[in-house]
Amino acid sequence: MNGVYLPSQFGVIFIPLATVQVKTGDKLRVTCRYSHRGKAESVPLYAAIGNSGAFGFDEILHSSKTISVPEDVSWQVREAYVDITITSAISAGFYDLYAKIDGGIPRVISPTLHDVVEVLAAIPESEFGEITITTYAKV
């Protein structure tokens, strides 16, 4: 599987590369692979969908969950996920994605993946147009 690795003091975070289509009501599962060494701890894993630009990342939807990392005396590769619920707060279009571990000043942050989430337009309510009789017969 293709992916992006980013080294840091906390370790390496990995996000697989793929384009995914979602719509309102879906959940986007963002799975990250990271490396860790040191004491056991609980830290937030955070992921956001939005637009990356010259002034940073404009988050539209995000989610986080606490992950429990066991004690590791040497570097160990681990994997965790966080689910982002797709709401009507996001319009149809292509969006960027990133993840981080440990809050406002992250200990490790992924590279931004550009245009990997496509939000589909909402499907309108069922409606009908014209109706025409195409045949009739005695049965």
Separation between Cα atoms, residue 48 and residue 58, nearest integer Å = 9
Separation between Cα atoms, residue 24 and residue 121, nearest integer Å = 8
Topology (CATH level 3) of domain 3-119: Immunoglobulin-like (2.60.40)
What was the pLDDT predicted at 117? 95
pLDDT tens digit sequence for 87-106: 999 999 999 999 999 867 88
Query: Pick the residue with more confidence: 6 or 24?
Result: 24
Please, which residues bridge with residue 78 across strands?
A: 34
* Domain range summary for the chain, segments of one domain joined by +: 3-119
Find tokens 């589909």 and name the residue. 120
What was the pLDDT predicted at 102? 84
Cα distances (angstroms) measured from residue 51 to each of 5, 61, 116, 117, 138: 21, 10, 11, 11, 62
Cβ-based neighbours of 69, under 8 Å, separated by 6 or more: 36, 40, 41, 42, 43, 78
What was the pLDDT predicted at 28? 96
Q: Where does 1-135 have alpha helices with state H?
A: none
Please, which residues bridge with residue 38 across strands?
A: 72
One-letter identity of residue 105: I
Among 22-36, 76-90, 98-112, name the one with the lowest average pLDDT. 98-112
What was the pLDDT predicted at 123? 82
What was the pLDDT predicted at 62? 97
Instruction: Check whether 11 has a pLDDT greater than 80.
Output: no
Measured CA angle at 46 (ends 121, 34), to 5 deg: 115
- pTM listed for this prediction: 0.78
Instruction: Check whether 7 has a pLDDT greater than 60.
Output: no
